[in-house]
Amino acid sequence: MAGRHLEVPPTRSRGEFLPTLPRVAQTCYNAGMRILGVDPGLSVTGYGLVDTDSTKPRLIEGGIICTDAGAPLAQRLHSIHAGMTEVIAEHRPDVVVVEELYAKYRHPRTAILMGHARGVICLAAAAAGVPLQSYTASQVKKSLTGNGNASKEQIKRMVCRIFGLSKPPARADVTDALALALCHASPGRAGWRSGRGG
């Protein structure tokens, strides 16, 4: 079904959050920010909102923006742009984070279509005056797990652990978006990743 759908229940107040790891103690680099991670896709774009304070990242909301597979490309891109504009206007993030493009893709056509989706997300951020940050996939993996070659399953487990979720979001797009936000929350640091301070 086309449109925006929530995958992780929202918390509307910045003072009310879903539970996090009980022994988190590592300071975030980017404390006091609201970070919007986005995993672009022409069919499904995942997003995840994370707030940071002086000690840990906190999950606010995760969801997806879907497009109609039978619609023309321009209309699908418009739907992504409209959905992302709505998320940005509603939650007022301090930064939007996307994955960095790289040179070699196994499926070039898929990469081109994903690039279109990424472009309208960048446009939505720029139109709202929100800075854009990008990280490579290996940077995100290393930030969360300490291993730049970590598997998708390892990323899922770490996202669940950091946010105290009993199971990952139903859509991998949301998990990937949350991973991007977490990377920006504390790039290269892993105290909250492991649950150990220091």
Catalytic member of 7, 39, 51, 61: 39
Structural domain includes residue 134:
yes
Q: How high is the pLDDT of residue 20?
A: 32
Q: Is 39 a catalytic residue?
A: yes
Q: What is the pLDDT of residue 28?
A: 46
In a domain, 194, yes or no: no
Domain count, the chain: 1
Catalytic residue among 7, 51, 61, 99: 99
Q: Which stretches in the chain have pLDDT values below 50?
A: 11-28, 189-198
Question: pTM for this one?
Answer: 0.82
Structural domain includes residue 193: no
Does any domain span residue 195? no
**153 occurs within a structural domain:** yes
Specify if 197 maps to a domain.
no
Query: What range defines the domain where residue 114 resides?
Result: 3-188
Q: For the chain, what percentages of helix, strand and coil (3-state, to nearest 5) are there?
A: 40, 20, 40
Q: Is 99 a catalytic residue?
A: yes
Q: Does residue 150 lie within any of the structural domains?
A: yes
Residues 56 and 28 sit within 8 Å (Cβ to Cβ): yes
State pLDDT tens for residues 137-161: 999 998 888 888 999 999 999 999 9
Catalytic residue among 7, 51, 61, 173: 173
CATH number of the domain enclosing 35: 3.30.420.10
Q: Check if 153 is active-site.
A: no
Q: How many CA atoms lie within 13 A of 124 on its CB side?
A: 28
48: β partners: 37, 62
- Tell me if 69 is assigned to some domain: yes
